[in-house]
Structure 1
Amino acid sequence: MTINTPYHVAVWGPGDVGSVCIRGAIRRPELEVVGAYVYGEHKDGVDIGTLVGKDPVGVAATGNLAQFLAVDCDVVIYTALDFPGGPAEQDFLTLIKAGKNVITSLPYSYLPARSEDFKQAL
């Protein structure tokens, strides 16, 4: 199968897991990393390739939520940490409300463990 147009992916939280996702995606011609949302000021504005120890890819990471949400992508890979009282549920809802397709390794398919607000919003 030949892919004419690469699938555009963005990564929310390029720490340990997100960096692995980015490194894997930049090796694949059918994928193009078009954005990354970062938390640390030292990562803001850094080329995504450089951020994960690879050659620059020409795309800067951003810590600006509005800038990240404006990125035209086919999917956001959400890799930020999830912990009780943390922002993951709200982040997820922000992405969905912005019209983004989201995939994550977090256990969102197990809805009984999620808040009522989150379940109602889906």
Structure 2
Amino acid sequence: MSETSTETSTETNSALADASAGMTMAGPLNMTANAAEKVVEIRQAEDIEDSYALRVKVIGGGCAGFQYDLFFDEQAEGDNVFESNNVKLVCDQMSFMYLMGTTIDYVEGLQGAGFKFENPNTTGSCGCGSSFSV
């Protein structure tokens, strides 16, 4: 194994260890600038304290087996913590297994507006667009 490969592997292992320890990282869970603007708008409209992060969660249910859930919440022990476009995101370990690599966007169109999840871990979704399978 070359020296460069060893360094990259060590860095990757270190990043994964940091994620499981609840450290702040960038990359495994991202938010577009458009989605971040909408989060700020909602936070201001609802007068939500700055100390609350946006919790990204996977819950059972929906047509395809799992659904996404977004809400403002305090960071809990064991949470993975990320910052993307100046929005603090928190995610519990179980949800993170399904969300790793996901990008959250906010879209407006003829069929309505809402947050859209680009999740590379899904194997399918249903017509409602809010549930997925892995």
TM-score, length-scaled by structure 1: 0.29
Structure showing greater radius of gyration is 2
Structure number with the higher strand fraction is: 2
The structure, 1 or 2, with the larger RCO (C-alpha pairs under 8 Å, 6+ apart) is 2
TM-score (structure 2 length as normaliser): 0.27
